[in-house]
Amino acid sequence: DAGVIQSPRHEVTEMGQEVTLRCKPISGHNSLFWYRQTMMRGLELLIYFNNNVPIDDSGMPEDRFSAKMPNASFSTLKIQPSEPRDSAVYFCASSAPRPLGHIQYFGAGTRLSVL
Whether 75 and 92 have beta carbons less than 8 Å apart is answered as yes
CA 39 → CA 19, 20, 28, 87, 88, distances in Å?
A: 21, 22, 32, 11, 9
Among 19, 24, 79, 107, the residue binding another protein under the rule CB under 8 A is: 107
Q: Please report how close the Cβ of residue 80 comes to another protein at its closest, in angstroms.
A: 25
94: nearest Cα among 66, 68, 70, 74: 74
- How many helices (H) and strands (E) would you count in the chain? 0, 11
Among 15, 83, 102, 115, the residue binding another protein under the rule CB under 8 A is: 102
45 is an interface residue for another protein by CB under 8 A? yes
Among 1, 2, 42, 70, the residue binding another protein under the rule CB under 8 A is: 42
- Please report, as residue ranges, which positions from 71 to 100 form the binding site for another protein (by CB under 8 A): 91, 95
Concatenating the DSSP letter of every residue in 25-51 gives PPTT--EEEEEEEETTTEEEEEEEEET
44 is an interface residue for another protein by CB under 8 A? yes
Binding residues with another protein: total (CB under 8 A): 22
- Looking at the Cβ atoms of 12 and 43, the one nearer to another protein is 43
Binding positions for another protein, rule: CB under 8 A? 31, 33, 41-45, 48, 50, 55-56, 91, 95, 101-109
